[in-house]
Structure 1
Amino acid sequence: MRRTQVGLLAAILVVALNACTVGPAAPGASLTIFAAASLSDAFEEIAVAFAAANDGVTINYNFGGSQQLAAQLNEGAPADVFASANSSQMRVVLEGGRVISGTEHAFAYNRLVVVVPHDNPAKISTLHDLARPGVRLLLADRAVPVGQYSLDFLAKASVRPSFGTTYSASVLRNVVSYEDNVRAVLTKVALGEGDAGIVYTTDAALEAERIARIDIPDELNTVASYPIAPIADSANPELAQAFIDFVLAPAGQAILVKYGFIDVREAREAGFSGGGFVRMASGCGATPRLHLASGVGRADTSAVLTKNPPRERGGRGRGQEAGGAQNTRLRVLRG
């Protein structure tokens, strides 16, 4: 990351930390946040920054497939905030009465990419190779947002002469496992337990040293909208809304962009914000157009194998605390 970018991010964090605070948190105050698995790294860093502005807050995360989280919420699981990887699972929770209509906001966008092990034993170099007999393909279950988006990609490709009408069926015959969430697909591919998988671009960045990627062209891809909302019966509604405001504010958006997500402003300007609750929460200011990760959301239309560039981690290891948040308490549950 260039020095000027680091300075800009630091300045944004200072402004947003002052804006998105609800004052001294009550002793023992905590939030339980249900969030899609693809958000785990970005949200863990957001929790550290948010807690730095709200002393004494404990953030409890439950990460998992959006459909699993929605089911848990509609079964009555206690929570304060829900962040989904698509609008349909947010709608499930809305219909279940756990979220009030009009309180949800799109806060990030993502897109698909094909990943293969770094040594690429199956010699996969184009999207056409996914249909080759003998390829071991890993997909997320269709009930998971990324799983449905993967099927949408195959359907779009199958109506194009360059792929042929049998492309989708041929690819699906190669599926050896349907996983519960996108991180399971990524992990198995990185470990060599499959020849290829379809994940989000943000997930691919996490395993830059162990995978290579094949970009999916814009016309075949899906831009996934991520909505967030407070739970209607939250035990701490003011703090829950403050967390959402923080995610939508410059500090939260900068962290999401750092991890490869497309921010709300860029999505609007690019014209692919349809279908996903594009509203901004008030109270923490507008989101700036800030690019810390180049090329996010710009698929290579040649769709050939490229090595995944190492993701900048800003000098922090996973779970390490940022400056000013040494007392942050963070508990992570893996759904």
Structure 2
Amino acid sequence: MNRTLTRTALAAALALPLAACSSTGGKSTSTITVLAAASLTDVFKQAGAAYEKEHPGTEVKFSFAGSQELAAQVRQGAPADALVTADTKTMDDLKAQTGTPAVIAKNRLTIATAPHNPRHVQGLTDLSQSGLKVVLAAPEVPAGRYSKKILDQQHLSVKPVSQEPSVRAVLSKVSLGEADAGIVYVTDATAAKGKVDTVTIPDAQNAVASYPAATLKNSKNTKAAEDFVKWLSSAEARKLLASAGFQKP
């Protein structure tokens, strides 16, 4: 798993564009590259468009992956300007490479099932049933750690048919019918409405995921990166995050 993640991180790092300033048609354009957790894919595409509209001349490019893959890219010096992870642990482990982080949103977990829940999953306990194909995020992934935490708290032993490199990969397995159920973020399930059904995990059994954002010290466009990270805590950004199902920080 570690070798696979490293190769993925290296490939992604080589593909990332350099943050730079260029001139197009006489106008100066500033480009910032943001490494962001996979669970932010849909909402950050909207946020990027909103930010560019508010800040003419600034282009925001995203690279989405599991937080552990993003961390590997940062450690290897990937050309990027800002980082947003799905947990504080990953960000804290990178404090030598980042500015001061700020939590921009929170999330919770839910159980995703095939449409109409054909296996009649009712809660976490059912995930330990023999014959049920369950898929989870890998332990290195924040969603995987959160999932393990809540299953351990309920003293449940779940043997997944696969452990995926991101929460979006878990969702994909369920939506494609390759698994009967999986644990994903509420926001991922919301984005896949119609492709999966959900089973609510009570707050008392759930875990809260925090999303910190920070600039990267090796940024080639520090001011633009700082402005974007600051904007992620603005009223407009929080409105977009809330509409996608994220909770306030």
Instruction: Tell me the equivalent position of 2:102.
Output: 105
Map Cα deviations across residues 250-309 of structure 1 (whole Å, 9 max, x no partner): 000000001000012xxxxxxxxxxxxxxxxxxxxxxxxxxxxxxxxxxxxxxxxxxxxx
Shift of 1:93: 1.4
| Matched-pair contact (CA < 8 Å) for 2:112–2:199 | yes
Instruction: Tell me the equivalent position of 1:155.
Output: 152
Instruction: Tell me the equivalent position of 2:55.
Output: 54
Structure of larger gyration radius: 1
Report 1:20-169 matches (<5 A). 27-94=28-95, 97-100=96-99, 103-158=100-155, 168-169=156-157
RMSD: 1.4
Large movers: runs of 4+ above 4 Å? none
Q: Distance in 1 between matches of 2:203 and 2:92?
A: 26
Instruction: Tell me the equivalent position of 2:186.
Output: 201
Equivalent position SS for 1:93: coil
Percent identity over the alignment? 38
Map Cα deviations across residues 161-215 of structure 1 (whole Å, 9 max, x no partner): xxxxxxx22x22xx10000000011111011110000000000101111211111
Match for 1:196: what amino acid? Answer: A
Question: TM-score, with normalisation over the residues of structure 2?
Answer: 0.87
Report 1:1-335 matches (<5 A). 27-94=28-95, 97-100=96-99, 103-158=100-155, 168-169=156-157, 171-172=158-159, 175-264=160-249
Question: TM-score, with normalisation over the residues of structure 1?
Answer: 0.65
Equivalent position SS for 1:260: coil
Shift of 1:126: 3.0
Shift of 1:46: 0.7
Match for 1:121: what amino acid? Answer: P
- Specify every segment of 5 or more residues in structure 2 that has no aligned partner in the other structure, as ranges: 1-23
Q: Distance in 2 between matches of 1:262 and 1:131?
A: 29
- Specify every segment of 5 or more residues in structure 1 that has no aligned partner in the other structure, as ranges: 1-24, 159-167, 265-335
Match for 1:133: what amino acid? Answer: S
Map Cα deviations across residues 139-161 of structure 1 (whole Å, 9 max, x no partner): 00010000000000111111xxx
- Equivalent pairs counted in the alignment come to 224
Shift of 1:127: 2.6
Match for 1:186: what amino acid? Answer: L
Equivalent position SS for 1:111: strand
